[in-house]
Each structure stands twice: as C-alpha cells, then as structure tokens.
Amino acid sequence: MIETRTDRRADRFVRNCWYVAGWEDEVPQDGLFSRTLLGESVLFYRTAGGRIVGLENRCCHRGAPLHLGRKEGDCVRCMYHGLKFDPTGKCIEVPGQERIPPRAGVRSYPVVAKDEFLWVWMGDPALADESRILSYWWHTDPGWRKKRASLHYQAPYTLIVDNLLDFSHLTYVHGTTIGTASIAQTRAVVEPIEGGLKIARRYYNDEIQANRRSIATFDGPADRWQLYEWIAPSFLRLHTGSSPAGTGAHEGTFVPETMQYRHASVQTPETETSTHYFFSHAANFKLDDPLVIDTVFDGVYRAFVEDKVIIEAQYQALLLGKPFEPMAIVHDTAMVQARKLIRKMLDAEAEGMAPVARQAA
C-alpha cells in the first residue's frame, strides 16, 4: 500500500512507543537543544548530573519556544516573560507574582539514552516501559567499528519504511554503490515476529558489492546475506555480509575471511510530510584499519542519498493528479504486512488500548 492523499491514517502517528529523537551527544552538556517529533517541538537539556530532560518546547504562558530561553541549574527559564520550569515541567516561578497557578507547567516526556541514541516516549507516559527500548548493541561494542549519520526527508516516514522493506530496488537505485544485479532476482523470505517482521535474502556464488571490493578479505565469488528485523513502526536492525562461496555461511559457519556488518536504520516522523532518518553501519573485520569502515560507510551514505532523491520525488508525484492506486508485485510482501502492523497499532491507540506491538530488546 502506497501513501495517498485519501489514506487518512497517514495523518496520524503511533505514539505509544519509543522513538529516536537523535544521537545522545546532540544534546549539549550546558545548553538547550530542540527538535520537532511527531508534529510536536520538544526541548532537550541536561541536568547538572548529566540526565537528559525532555520538555514541551512551548511556554504555557504565551507559547514562546523554550529553546530560546536560558538554562538555570536544572531548570529552564522562558526569556519572553521569565517563567521558570523545573525538569518535571512544573512552573516554579512567575516574576512579579507570588501565586503560581496550579496548571502552570509544560509537558514532560520520558527520555532515555541508550546505545548512543536519545530515545523519547511521545505517548501516554504511564506506558513508557524502558525494557521495550530496542538494542543496537554494536554502537558501543569494541568488537565492531562503526560510523553513523542522519538525513532529513521531505516525505512521510512510511515511504521510507516501504523502501527498506523491499531491497529489490538496490539493483536499480544503488547499482554503483551497494546493489548487485542478483538482488532484484532474489525473493525475500518474510516471517512474522513479535511486533514486526523477519526478512531474509541469501545469495549464492555471487559478486561482492562494488563499493566493498577494495577492502575485501578474499578474491572470487561470495555467498552473501541480508538478514534483518523490522519492528513497527519504523525500526530496522540488519545483519549482512559476505563469505567465500561454499564455506558454509548460510548454515551459520563463518570462516576467518568472512566480512560481517551490522546496520541500524531508524525513522522518526517530524511532521506528516517530513522525517528524521538516523542510521549507522558497523564492521567486525580489519578493526585496526579505519579505511575499511570509511570505505563501506561512504557507499552506504551515498546510497541513502540516492534513496532520498527518489523517495522525495516519489512523494511529490503522489501528490499530483488523481488518487493513486498502487499495483502490487511479488517484492511487496513485507511492505504490505508492515503497513497492516502500523494500522493495527494506530487502531489500538484510537480505541484507547495498550500498544499491540512490542518493541523487544
């Protein structure tokens, strides 16, 4: 199912789940940082002890943005009329007024720093269970060397999810970076898991991607794999790599020449029509040579820019003309199932129920 103007569910977001607000180190040690998430502007700052606070970025008095304010100890002061808020969002001072109205305050969001990501809960705070935050353990594991980046899309997050769930496009969009001719000819195996999907693509006696040949640990044909979990509404964890053909990689045997990678792709809606995209790529071989991850990540980053160009163009095309009715092909299996999972979560929240999909660690 492709986003159309008539799909009103596209105007809503799943809120009762943990989203990535950014990289943890984007929040300064002494200063204020804001970002729009799910159509809401959120202010982030650190207390004296280093804990990150998330508050509604809008003063309750006249709606001035608090990121233009001033941090005072563990509190923040609005620099329009001087109201001061503590880390819970409670107003603790109104200049020139002794009595503080009981409803004076701003919303406080549950915030957790984990695996270098800054996680925020945009829904009912009573449901914010930290154990449901996904693990991206390779971000801090010394056995893996990684690089990371982010992009900003002028397109709904669901179109990016569609892209990630159908790797057949790699052959055509990324032919000079991370794609090979075999990808479009290979059908993915899609299985449901708790809260998402497990997707597998395996290639036998194939070629290594163009951007990785210069750092390869072996010559000749390869057995390659792309094994990933997608957790609704917008989280992907990928294990990919290459081994000398016929050495047992598809059965779980990795010889010393095996090249393994871990990848994170996370989308957080900014608005109904724009998206924050955070991603990382890590390798576990030739760890003493920074050229390896530099070379691999350069190809990944260039590929993601290629995705951005075509997805933003796709979105503009969908806005024009009569309502669009997509034609399904065999590679759409995961995308269709993912859209159903997102709709199920939206419907459950609309009915006042707890989330139906669990973000597992």
pLDDT, tens digit (0-9, with 9 covering 90-100), for 133-151: 999 999 999 999 999 999 9
Residue 156 has pLDDT above 50, yes or no: yes
pLDDT band at 341 (very low <50, low <70, confident <90, very high): very high
Same domain as 141, residue 106: no
Same domain as 209, residue 292: yes
Task: Give the pLDDT score at 6.
Answer: 35
CATH number at residue 220: 3.90.380.10
Task: Give the pLDDT score at 334.
Answer: 82
Q: pLDDT > 90: what percent of the chain?
A: 74
User: What's the length of the chain?
Assistant: 361
- Residues 211-246 have pLDDT tens digits of 788 899 999 999 999 899 999 999 999 999 999 999
Residue 4 has pLDDT above 50, yes or no: no
Same domain as 144, residue 99: no
Q: Which of 130, 155, 176 is the last residue of a domain?
A: 130
Rounded CA gap, 331 and 187, in Å?
7
Same domain as 58, residue 155: no
Q: Which residue type is seen at 264?
A: A
At residue 243, the 3 state secondary structure works out as strand
Contact 61, 97 (CB under 8 A): no
First to last CA, the chain: 29
Same domain as 210, residue 194: yes
Task: Give the pLDDT score at 130.
Answer: 96
- Residues 167-180 have pLDDT tens digits of 666 665 666 666 56
What average pLDDT score do residues 202-219 get?
A: 87
Query: 345: part of which helix (H) or strand (E)?
Result: helix 333-350
Q: Specify if 5 maps to a domain.
A: no
What average pLDDT score do residues 79-91 get?
A: 97
Q: Which of 130, 161, 180 is the last residue of a domain?
A: 130
What average pLDDT score do residues 249-278 get?
A: 96
Please, which residues have CB within 8 angstroms of residue 258's CB and are 6 or more apart in sequence? Answer: 217, 241, 242, 243, 247, 249, 285
Task: Give the pLDDT score at 9.
Answer: 38
Q: Specify if 3 maps to a domain.
A: no
Task: Give the pLDDT score at 179.
Answer: 59
Nearest CA-CA partner of 6 in 325, 348, 343, 347: 325
Same domain as 293, residue 176: yes
Same domain as 70, residue 167: no
pLDDT band at 361 (very low <50, low <70, confident <90, very high): low
Q: Specify if 180 maps to a domain.
A: yes
Please, which residues have CB within 8 angstroms of residue 298's CB and are 6 or more apart in sequence? Answer: 211
Task: Give the pLDDT score at 59.
Answer: 98
Same domain as 306, residue 195: yes
Contact 188, 165 (CB under 8 A): no
112 token code pair: 């957790």
- Taking phi over 0 as left and psi of -120 to 50 as alpha, with beta for the rest, 300 belongs to alpha
Q: Which residue type is seen at 173?
A: V
Q: Specify if 358 maps to a domain.
A: no
- Residues 316-334 have pLDDT tens digits of 999 998 888 877 776 778 8
Same domain as 322, residue 219: yes
Same domain as 216, residue 173: yes
Q: Specify if 361 maps to a domain.
A: no
Task: Give the pLDDT score at 355.
Answer: 53
CATH number at residue 82: 2.102.10.10
**Domains identified in the chain, total number:** 2
Rounded CA gap, 119 and 127, in Å?
14
Task: Give the pLDDT score at 354.
Answer: 52
Contact 52, 44 (CB under 8 A): yes
Rounded CA gap, 38 and 54, in Å?
14
Same domain as 344, residue 321: yes
Rounded CA gap, 225 and 260, in Å?
10
What average pLDDT score do residues 39-60 get?
A: 97
Residue 259 has pLDDT above 80, yes or no: yes
Same domain as 235, residue 322: yes
Please, which residues have CB within 8 angstroms of residue 98's CB and are 6 or more apart in sequence? Answer: none
Contact 234, 266 (CB under 8 A): yes
Structural domain including 302 reads 134-350
pLDDT, the chain, mean: 89
Nearest CA-CA partner of 263 in 287, 289, 284: 284
Residue 209 has pLDDT above 90, yes or no: no
Q: Specify if 169 maps to a domain.
A: yes
Rounded CA gap, 80 and 66, in Å?
9
- Catalogue the long-range contacts made by 61-64 (C-beta closer than 8 Å, 24 or more residues apart): 61/104
Task: Give the pLDDT score at 357.
Answer: 46
Q: Which of 130, 150, 178 is the last residue of a domain?
A: 130
What average pLDDT score do residues 101-117 get?
A: 97
Rounded CA gap, 109 and 121, in Å?
6
Task: Give the pLDDT score at 42.
Answer: 98
